């Protein structure tokens, strides 16, 4: 990120290396994470290093197999044919983490400081109530939960939002093609006091099931260039 002249002195650096974490929902600016001060910054004065590829250290990722939801919603996409055997062990784990990152991004503020988790303690009066809430991993678990009424409401709110925003368009599935599955991701939102303020549900397409050259071509992940 470029540091403006009025924001630095003569001896200070003209730029700083930050991490791109998303895009500001209220403008065309970028959301950047400062690792040193643990703070999100919003700016459009950035340069990206597109020559450096961002690679995941997959050797450090535990191999976890997620069970498929039996009541999955089918997100239809054309231009797809059966073929390659997909390795779901690592890709499911990466996809699940990315989905939860996007989940939290929808409710984030424009700029905020990150506090040390060690200093945060939930009030005792909410401990028992929070402990009773189990975050379901699948659609079926949500409907069998003791909080199924709240989860049903969250699911319906997400479906209504998708319909209002016209997120997808229903089309006939071409003969010989397959639809990409989707999955529900659940979470809860808490007040600063620790009390639960909202049950949340998000529907995500399982993008890792797409095949290169058929569903997509080359993809790039930009990184910040500093001088």
> By residue range, what is the domain housing residue 10?
1-64
Q: What span, in angstroms and rounded, lies between the C-alpha atoms of 200 and 153?
A: 9
Helix (H) or strand (E) holding 55: none
The answer as to whether 225 is a domain residue is no
Of 64, 92, 119, the residue that ends a domain is 64
Domain boundary among 11, 38, 64: 64
Tell whether 118 is covered by a domain: no
Q: How far apart are CA 7 and CA 183, in angstroms?
A: 45
Asked if residue 94 belongs to a domain, the reply is no
- Distance between the two ends of the chain, CA-based, in angstroms? 9
Strand order in the sheet with 74-75: 74-75, 180-190, 196-205
**Domain end residue (candidates: 64, 88, 111):** 64
**Any domain includes 37:** yes
Q: Is the pTM here over 0.85, yes or no?
A: no
Structural domains in the chain (count): 2
What digits encode the pLDDT tens for the residues 46-58? 787 766 555 444 4
Domain assignment of residue 133, yes or no = no
Q: State pLDDT tens for residues 106-156.
A: 544 444 455 555 555 555 544 445 556 789 999 999 999 999 899 999 999
The pLDDT of residue 104: 52
DSSP state at residue 61: S
Determine, yes or no, domain membership for 48. yes
Q: Is the pLDDT of residue 208 over 50?
A: yes
Whole-angstrom distance, CA of residue 102 vs CA of residue 210: 19
- On whether residue 70 sits in a domain, the answer given is no
Report if residue 80 sits inside a domain: no
């Amino acid at each position: 990120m470029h540091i403006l002249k009025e924001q630095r002195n003569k001896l200070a650096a003209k730029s700083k290396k930050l991490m791109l974490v998303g895009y500001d929902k209220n403008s065309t600016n970028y959301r950047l994470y400062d690792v040193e001060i643990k703070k999100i910054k919003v700016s459009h004065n950035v340069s990206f290093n597109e020559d450096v590829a961002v690679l995941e250290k997959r050797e450090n990722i535990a191999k976890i197999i997620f069970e498929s939801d039996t009541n999955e919603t089918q997100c239809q996409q054309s231009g797809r044919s059966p073929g390659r055997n997909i390795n779901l062990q690592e890709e499911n784990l990466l996809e699940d983490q990315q989905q939860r990152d996007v989940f939290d991004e929808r409710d984030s503020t424009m700029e905020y400081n990150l506090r040390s988790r060690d200093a945060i303690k939930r009030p005792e009066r909410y401990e028992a109530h929070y402990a009773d809430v189990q975050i379901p991993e699948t659609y079926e678990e949500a409907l069998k939960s003791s909080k199924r009424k709240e989860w049903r409401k969250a699911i319906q709110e997400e479906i209504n939002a998708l319909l209002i925003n016209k997120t997808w368009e229903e089309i006939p599935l071409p003969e010989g093609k397959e639809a990409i599955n989707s999955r529900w991701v659940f979470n809860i939102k808490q007040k600063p006091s620790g009390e639960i303020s909202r049950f949340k549900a998000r529907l995500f397409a399982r993008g890792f099931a797409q095949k290169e050259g058929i569903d997509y071509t080359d993809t790039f992940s930009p990184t910040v260039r500093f001088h």
